[in-house]
Amino acid sequence: MRRVPRKVLRHRLTVEPYQGSSSVGDVYRPAEIVRCLLDESTQQVTTPGGENVTSSSSYIAWPDHQPPLNSRVTLPDGRKTKVIKVGRVNAVGLPVPNNTQVFLQ
């Protein structure tokens, strides 16, 4: 399986994987630093529930990165946002590396 070359993943984000809700609010697992390529362009995406929403940014990372929906993400400039959609690119037989694309609120 080909992966995105490390040198392409120029950005680092902090991702706190969503674990669920409790009586006091959302619960997250410990934060992890993720190497990625960040795209801060606005685009329309369809969530897994079929809702059309606007994504403020997205990023690609290695294919083993699969954050749960609603995970909290801190961008390089300090802004916080949440994961609204995760897609996996499996490019078997094509000259494109496998990766995960994550869309943010």
Q: Determine the structural domain holding residue 44 and report its residue range.
A: 6-104
Residue 11 located in a structural domain? yes
pLDDT score recorded for residue 36:
98
Q: State the CB neighbour count (10 A cutoff) for residue 76.
A: 12
pLDDT score recorded for residue 4:
87
Domain count, the chain: 1
Distance of CA 53 to the CA centre of its chain: 15
pLDDT score recorded for residue 3:
81
Residue 1 located in a structural domain? no
pLDDT score recorded for residue 93:
81
Query: What is the per-residue pLDDT across 19-56, written as a single tens digit (0 to 9) for each?
Result: 999 999 999 999 999 999 999 999 999 988 899 999 99
Alpha carbon distance 41, 64 (integer Å): 24
Residue 34 located in a structural domain? yes
Alpha carbon distance 52, 5 (integer Å): 32
Q: What angle is formed at CA 23 by the lines to CA 20 and CA 26, rounded to 5 degrees?
A: 35
Which range (66-70, 71-75, 83-87, 90-94) has the least confidence?
90-94
Residue 55: give its domain's CATH number: 2.40.10
The answer to whether 17 and 33 have CB atoms below 8 angstroms apart is no
